[in-house]
């Protein structure tokens, strides 16, 4: 099988040369630092200042990502949810059915919320792998992550389309409000998402290793940490810790706010409300504050990579913005565009920038206005820029380890374990995206 041979070759190269995700972030820091010195007028002091000034810009986002990881973990580990997930995870009986089922579940969750998809996809893959020793665990984790990335162009929580449809957004004076029918519900984005998902699922089935090459789930290496044992004593303190009255009172208050939020904001699943829903649902399903806290503690070890690596990416973003590197890259790419090539070149520029600025919201705030200004030279609607930047940001998430850190933390795998598979998925999604963007002017 050609795809299996390609993925095996890439995997061997990756295992030999690709460092850990943390070293990847540090090396990327060095690269951007040097690029700033060579391509701009900034000096060493300037680049160092940009790096430090940006270093803490992701603190809120880092906390949001840690919370979505551990609260998602605790939610899935609640007895009623875990029972349902185990039931579905027990359905696949072959390696192919395991891969397809994991990818469809991950994509469905990712369509609702990319944060939910990244967490639920990894946890579902783990449960499937526990029950099928002849399924390659590395492939399954990569497949779940790739499925979420593939479906994101049509995902209802895609950042840039939601931003430009929100009154008061930073570029409203330039482009007004762009309805979702021109972005995530447009033919361009739906084609990229669903054709891309089908192609990626097909690729992962073809990349399945032979039986003798399968690396199964290893309970000692990939299993969960031992949960702390909390003894119950018949004391006032322990009765408070396990009080259902306290638990469901706070659940009731939280539920009231969730209802009010959706009444006032519609179905807008941004990270804060998603984390809040996870917390309230988790408390409700675990039944007591102590039971929920134990589940949270059990999932904390998976968040270490996010905690230390996200500030480094924020520093990279600070250097990219402060030195003007994003402007240089974007303007160079669009300098030789026309009506047909502009969507493609915007997409490529966004894919490149995403390697250095892997925050979709941050990338749009910096790169979006530059591309919208360039758009004035062409007979194309602003939605083209929104869609191209969004998909470019999405595609290289398969190469950039920023958003795969939750899956790596939960599975206790290294970046090199899955990167070869993700690279093949990246190439295929790149081809699908380029093809659709080439046809975009025909849809307008």
Report pLDDT digits (tens) over 207-263: 998 888 898 888 877 765 545 445 555 678 778 888 889 999 999 999 999 999 999
Among residues of the chain, what percentage have pLDDT more than 90? 42
Among residues of the chain, what percentage have pLDDT more than 70? 92
Question: How confident is the model at residue 211, as a pLDDT?
Answer: 82
Q: Check residue 209 and give left, alpha or beta (phi > 0: left; psi -120 to 50: alpha).
A: beta
Report pLDDT digits (tens) over 156-184: 878 888 878 878 877 788 889 898 899 99
Q: Check residue 324 and give left, alpha or beta (phi > 0: left; psi -120 to 50: alpha).
A: left
Using an 8 Å Cβ cutoff, are 343 and 439 in contact? no
Rounded to the nearest integer, the mean pLDDT of the chain is 86
CA dihedral sign, ordered 53, 55, 61, 67 = negative
Closest by alpha carbon to 409, among 70, 91, 46? 70
pTM value is 0.82
Report pLDDT digits (tens) over 256-290: 999 999 999 887 766 688 789 889 999 999 999 98
Residue 112, judged by CB atoms within 10 A of its CB (0-12, 13-18, 19+), counts as: middle
């Amino acid at each position: 099988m050609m795809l299996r041979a390609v993925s095996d070759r890439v995997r061997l190269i990756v295992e030999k040369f690709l460092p850990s995700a943390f070293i990847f972030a540090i090396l990327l820091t060095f690269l951007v630092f040097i690029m700033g010195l060579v391509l701009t007028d900034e000096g060493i002091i300037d680049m160092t200042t940009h790096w430090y000034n940006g270093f803490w810009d992701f603190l809120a986002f880092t906390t949001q990502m840690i919370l979505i990881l551990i609260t998602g973990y605790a939610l899935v580990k609640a007895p009623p949810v875990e029972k349902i997930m185990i039931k579905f995870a027990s359905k696949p009986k072959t390696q192919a059915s395991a891969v397809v089922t994991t990818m469809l579940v991950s994509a469905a969750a990712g369509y609702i919320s990319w944060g939910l998809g990244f967490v639920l996809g990894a946890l579902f893959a783990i449960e499937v792998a526990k029950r099928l020793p002849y399924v390659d665990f590395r492939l399954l984790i990569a497949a779940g992550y790739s499925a979420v990335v593939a479906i994101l162009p049509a995902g209802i929580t895609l950042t840039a389309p939601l931003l430009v449809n929100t009154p008061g957004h930073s570029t409203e004076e330039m482009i007004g409000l762009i309805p979702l029918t021109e972005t995530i519900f447009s033919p361009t984005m739906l084609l990229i998402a669903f054709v891309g998902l089908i192609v990626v699922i097909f690729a992962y089935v073809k990349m399945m290793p032979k039986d003798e090459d399968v690396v199964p789930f290893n309970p000692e290496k990939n299993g969960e940490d031992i949960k702390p044992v909390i003894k119950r004593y018949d004391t006032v303190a322990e009765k408070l810790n396990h009080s259902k009255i306290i638990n469901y009172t706070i659940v009731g208050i939280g539920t009231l706010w969730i209802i009010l939020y959706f009444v006032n904001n519609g179905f807008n699943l941004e990270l804060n409300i998603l984390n809040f829903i996870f917390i309230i649902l988790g408390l409700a399903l675990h039944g007591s504050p102590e039971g929920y806290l134990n589940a949270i503690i059990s999932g904390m070890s998976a968040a270490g990579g996010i905690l230390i690596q996200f500030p480094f990416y924020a520093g990279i973003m600070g250097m990219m913005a402060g030195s003007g590197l994003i402007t240089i890259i974007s303007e160079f790419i669009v300098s030789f565009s026309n009506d047909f090539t502009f969507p493609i070149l915007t997409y490529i520029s966004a894919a490149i920038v995403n390697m250095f600025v892997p925050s979709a919201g941050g990338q749009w705030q910096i790169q979006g206005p530059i591309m919208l200004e360039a758009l004035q030279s062409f007979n194309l609607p602003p939605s083209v820029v929104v869609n191209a930047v969004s998909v470019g940001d999405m595609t290289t998430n398969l190469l950039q380890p920023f958003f795969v850190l939750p899956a790596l933390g939960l599975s206790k795998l290294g970046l090199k374990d899955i990167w070869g598979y993700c690279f093949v998925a990246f190439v295929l999604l790149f081809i699908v995206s380029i093809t659709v963007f080439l046809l975009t002017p025909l849809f307008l």
